[in-house]
Structure 1
Amino acid sequence: MMRKIWIGLLSLLMAVGGAKAQFIANPLPIPFGDPYVMYDQGKYYMYGTGGDVKNGFGAYSSSNLKEWKFEGQVYHHDNPNGWGIHSFWAPEVYKKGGKYYMLYSAQWKQNPNQEKENFKIGVAVSDKPTGPFIDLNDRPIFDPGYPIIDANLLVENGKIYLYYSRCCYKHPVASEVAQWAKKRGWYNEVEESWVYGVELKTDFSGTIGAPVLLLRPPVKMGSIKEEWESRSVTAKEVNRRWTEGSYIFKKDKIYYMMYSANNFDGQNYAIGYATSKSPLGPFKKADNNPVLQRSGKVSGTGHNSITYTPDGKQMLCVYHGRTEATGHQRLVFIDKMEVAKDGRLMVHGPTLKD
């Protein structure tokens, strides 16, 4: 028995040791986009977009981040307070006061102008991480006057901050990239999505104050460190530039906001980050962006969350990607990441099992 325990410990140390060592046999057989992992009472719970559920969200659980059990559909759109009708995306779950709160985006059924993209953010609650989650109210948290997706929260000093992405829909923005594409006869305009932050009421019933613009695509061309954010346009994929899928955390008094750029449905989807000394900015994009992008047989790497090994020592980046073998199907990847002593954030991926 002692020999088996020692071998198990040795295997774990080998898995998490060394920056280039593969932590998990990627990709995991979980068909999620926008994966979010919560650690609670010795177990990991993963939520995401899609995953073979209809009009809602499924969940998986694991004790070791390698073997995962499907817990079924944990949120259904037709619950007593359901307000969404389709496009259920990017769920994230937070524990507060012994209850579990799911933030997510969906198409709001209240749509008098019949907008194609009428996405809003709502919150549902459950007594268990495996649901069932029931909407707190029969409406979204708030309506800023434009479609929004990709909710992420920061809880600090008794306050809750909500981060979200304004959709590209009907949001054309003047930029050198837009001018460049128009001169080539590719697109008449380029729409953009931007990341905002706003304080949230502690009972999730609404927001406090006006949203603050935190991140947007670069206005000018020519910067090597920022050109990666425009590849959906420069590769002639689509007339849109995205800044979405934000995930914020704090380390050594610095706020790190990870975000995804480019078309989520394309190969150039990638992750960068920005830093600030305040939860509502201003944020400065990092010089070493992107920190995760297509490589080898893996592409479409984006919309991440962060978790840690059970001992809390090793940061892990959880994201979705595609491989040559799996085709267009999005699957979950987990790779090691770190914040170096000089403050640089690095993701050691994408890794792919041999």
Structure 2
Amino acid sequence: MASLAALLLACVPPVTSSAGASSPEPPAAAPDFSTAEAGNPIVDGWYADPDVAVYDNRYWVFPTSSRPYDEQTYLDAFSSTDLVTWTKHPNVLTKADVSWARRAVWAPAPVQRNGKYYLYFGANDIQGNSELGGIGVAVADRPEGPYRDAIGKPLIAQFVNGAQPIDQDVFVDTDGQAYMYYGGWGHANVVKLNADMTSLGQFPDGSTYKEITPANFTEGSQMFKKDGKYYFMWSEDGWTGPNYAVSYAISDSPTGPFTKISRVLAQDAAVARGSGHNAVLNVPGTDIWYIFYHRRPLSLSGANDRQLAYDRMTFNADGTIAPVTMRVKDNFDDANSVGWTTYGGSWSTSAKRYEAGASYGGKALLDTNFSDFVQDVTVTPRSAAGDAGVVFRATQPNTGTDGYRGYYAGISGTGKVVLGKADDNWTQLASAAVTIRPNVSYRLRVEAIGSSIKVYVGDALRISVTDTSYSSGANGVRVFNTGAGFDDFAVAHR
């Protein structure tokens, strides 16, 4: 789902709505990240179709609850002052608040105007014009709701130009005119919203609906403006499959024409699949841009196995959007370990670190599948015994000292760094002397390219070997006979 235009006007003068409210001020400290530095997914739970807003110096994300259609009867929201720690606001809108909605409550789109907060949504997944449903609008006095149906019926209740009435985006242009972009079943329309935000206007030719369908459009309309240009984004290919992706077009007009330029966000077989249905956030008062979207974990294939993520979005000198890289980082500043799976040992997040109690082989893994990569983590061993470090190219994980197939590199208070491989048993490949003290933090890096594996402690190369046992797999951290703290974890392609 798309983002509110009032968020996206950093490059143009502030505008005033009919109620006299100016565009939002930036939060106190503008987040300037390469990705969700505290880890993707950004919140716990199954969610999809995120839209974003900035209200009263807080960032807001309004997603779909990713469940079977008959269970999609409510909408939650999340807010943050820093794009790191998120507060959940449950049930901001439920079907009990909308007399005509019964299921498939989808893709909320937020906007603030007239001293009110509006939330546009799809409901009922209608398959034809004889069914009740479509795009509705709810209103509240606060960003977190509760929202109530504003007009007692759908705002758009019919298929027009072949477009299913779903996946709406609300965009307010710099002249104050509000537009709604929407559509499914391979067709996209744009309509004008009147100043009351609850009724449709007309174009100069007297029409209400204009078709703007670009090539390969499926659904998930999104509009924003930058440097006087209108960027229309959409999702293409099937939402239940791995190839769901985001493409875009640029126009001089909010009504197009929109000619596809390229895909800008697609699956990464090492990180996640099914990445799509995006929103765009421009941090007010800056040239910092993020793309919010949902994606599917690599090890899962269920239609509703979708999670919320964001990554940095950048622009080329000619105004085109650079392909988005789904980065893998976690500095644990959000005090949680969402996205990690543990196998043995005891794990917790405290003091903005991932803490492991002493165990014989407890490990925590991300759902990644990197082949050639560089992996970094800060390791703080908690005793002079044992060792702690990183697991990589790991498959078949389970509990047990060497319960996985893959590699491990760790540092030990006994004064060494060690590299080995496991397959329900342990084979040491190399070790090197290095000074390691308990409760002191050390940067550990592994570079693995083909059969070459290099291990660094700080900036110094300590181990370099060749081994062909494992070519790809998950990345994570591990302890052996010591507790340890882990911080600033990152994996990137090489």
Cα distance between partner residues in 2 of 1:214 and 1:109: 21
Q: Describe the shift of the 1:112–1:345 C-alpha distance in structure 2 as closer, same or farther (beyond 3 A).
A: closer
Cα distance between partner residues in 1 of 2:43 and 2:109: 20
Q: Secondary structure at the match of 2:239?
A: coil
> 1:292 aligns to what?
265
Cα distance between partner residues in 2 of 1:263 and 1:148: 17
Tell me, yes or no, if structure 1 residue 102 matches structure 2 residue 119. Answer: yes
Q: Describe the shift of the 1:22–1:149 C-alpha distance in structure 2 as closer, same or farther (beyond 3 A).
A: closer
Tell me, yes or no, if structure 1 residue 163 matches structure 2 residue 137. Answer: no
Tell me, yes or no, if structure 1 residue 55 matches structure 2 residue 70. Answer: no
> 2:195 aligns to what?
202
> 1:253 aligns to what?
228
Tell me, yes or no, if structure 1 residue 330 matches structure 2 residue 306. Answer: yes
Aligned equivalent of 1:37, options 18, 43, 52: 52
Cα distance between partner residues in 1 of 2:256 and 2:214: 13
Mapped contact 1:84–1:109 kept (Cα < 8 A): no
Aligned equivalent of 1:93, options 110, 119, 131: 110
Please report how far the alpha carbon of residue 205 of structure 1 lies from its aligned counterpart in structure 2 after TM superposition: 2.0
Please show how residues 1-354 of structure 1 align to structure 2 within 5 Å.
16=32, 23-30=37-44, 31-50=46-65, 54-79=72-97, 81-107=98-124, 113=130, 115=131, 119-145=133-159, 147-156=164-173, 157-165=175-183, 167-168=184-185, 193-203=186-196, 204-208=198-202, 209-217=207-215, 229=216, 242-286=217-261, 289-295=262-268, 296-309=270-283, 312-325=286-299, 328=302, 329-353=305-329, 354=491
Aligned partner letter, 1:95: Q
Mapped contact 2:282–2:288 kept (Cα < 8 A): yes
Please report how far the alpha carbon of residue 54 of structure 1 lies from its aligned counterpart in structure 2 after TM superposition: 4.8
Cα distance between partner residues in 1 of 2:323 and 2:137: 30
Cα distance between partner residues in 1 of 2:65 and 2:249: 28
CA offsets per residue over residues 23-76 of structure 1, 9 Å max, x none?
Answer: 452222342100112111111111111167751211111111121111111001
Q: Describe the shift of the 1:334–1:23 C-alpha distance in structure 2 as closer, same or farther (beyond 3 A).
A: same
Cα distance between partner residues in 1 of 2:125 and 2:328: 38
Paired residues in the alignment total: 286
Q: Secondary structure at the match of 1:291?
A: strand
Mapped contact 2:73–2:105 kept (Cα < 8 A): yes
Q: Describe the shift of the 1:145–1:16 C-alpha distance in structure 2 as closer, same or farther (beyond 3 A).
A: closer
Cα distance between partner residues in 2 of 1:54 and 1:265: 16
> 1:223 aligns to what?
none
Please report how far the alpha carbon of residue 134 of structure 1 lies from its aligned counterpart in structure 2 after TM superposition: 0.3
Please report how far the alpha carbon of residue 148 of structure 1 lies from its aligned counterpart in structure 2 after TM superposition: 1.1
Q: Secondary structure at the match of 1:78?
A: helix
Aligned partner letter, 2:179: Y
Q: Describe the shift of the 1:300–1:111 C-alpha distance in structure 2 as closer, same or farther (beyond 3 A).
A: closer
Q: Describe the shift of the 1:119–1:109 C-alpha distance in structure 2 as closer, same or farther (beyond 3 A).
A: closer
Mapped contact 1:266–1:300 kept (Cα < 8 A): yes
Cα distance between partner residues in 1 of 2:300 and 2:81: 26
Cα distance between partner residues in 2 of 1:155 and 1:35: 18
Please report how far the alpha carbon of residue 311 of structure 1 lies from its aligned counterpart in structure 2 after TM superposition: 5.3
Cα distance between partner residues in 1 of 2:311 and 2:122: 26
Report which of the two structures shows the higher radius of gyration computed on alpha carbons: 2
Cα distance between partner residues in 2 of 1:37 and 1:46: 5
Q: Describe the shift of the 1:132–1:347 C-alpha distance in structure 2 as closer, same or farther (beyond 3 A).
A: farther
Cα distance between partner residues in 2 of 1:72 and 1:202: 29
TM-score by length of 2: 0.54
Mapped contact 2:129–2:159 kept (Cα < 8 A): no
Please report how far the alpha carbon of residue 302 of structure 1 lies from its aligned counterpart in structure 2 after TM superposition: 0.3
Please report how far the alpha carbon of residue 339 of structure 1 lies from its aligned counterpart in structure 2 after TM superposition: 2.3
Please report how far the alpha carbon of residue 282 of structure 1 lies from its aligned counterpart in structure 2 after TM superposition: 0.9
CA offsets per residue over residues 178-227 of structure 1, 9 Å max, x none?
Answer: xxxxxxxxxxxxxxx1111111222122342331111243xxxxxxxxxx
Mapped contact 1:269–1:302 kept (Cα < 8 A): yes
Mapped contact 1:16–1:23 kept (Cα < 8 A): no
**Structure 1, unaligned runs of 5 or more:** 1-11, 169-192, 218-228, 230-241
Q: Describe the shift of the 1:111–1:319 C-alpha distance in structure 2 as closer, same or farther (beyond 3 A).
A: closer
Q: Describe the shift of the 1:145–1:54 C-alpha distance in structure 2 as closer, same or farther (beyond 3 A).
A: closer
Please provide the CA RMSD for this pair: 2.6
Fraction of identical pairs, as percent: 30
Cα distance between partner residues in 2 of 1:111 and 1:82: 20
Q: Describe the shift of the 1:108–1:290 C-alpha distance in structure 2 as closer, same or farther (beyond 3 A).
A: closer
CA offsets per residue over residues 245-278 of structure 1, 9 Å max, x none?
Answer: 1111111211001111011111000001011111
Cα distance between partner residues in 1 of 2:276 and 2:121: 17
Mapped contact 1:42–1:310 kept (Cα < 8 A): no
More helix by share: 1
**Structure 2, unaligned runs of 5 or more:** 1-28, 330-490
Q: Describe the shift of the 1:59–1:198 C-alpha distance in structure 2 as closer, same or farther (beyond 3 A).
A: same
Cα distance between partner residues in 1 of 2:61 and 2:300: 21
Please report how far the alpha carbon of residue 112 of structure 1 lies from its aligned counterpart in structure 2 after TM superposition: 8.3
Aligned partner letter, 1:291: V
Please report how far the alpha carbon of residue 349 of structure 1 lies from its aligned counterpart in structure 2 after TM superposition: 2.0
TM-score by length of 1: 0.74
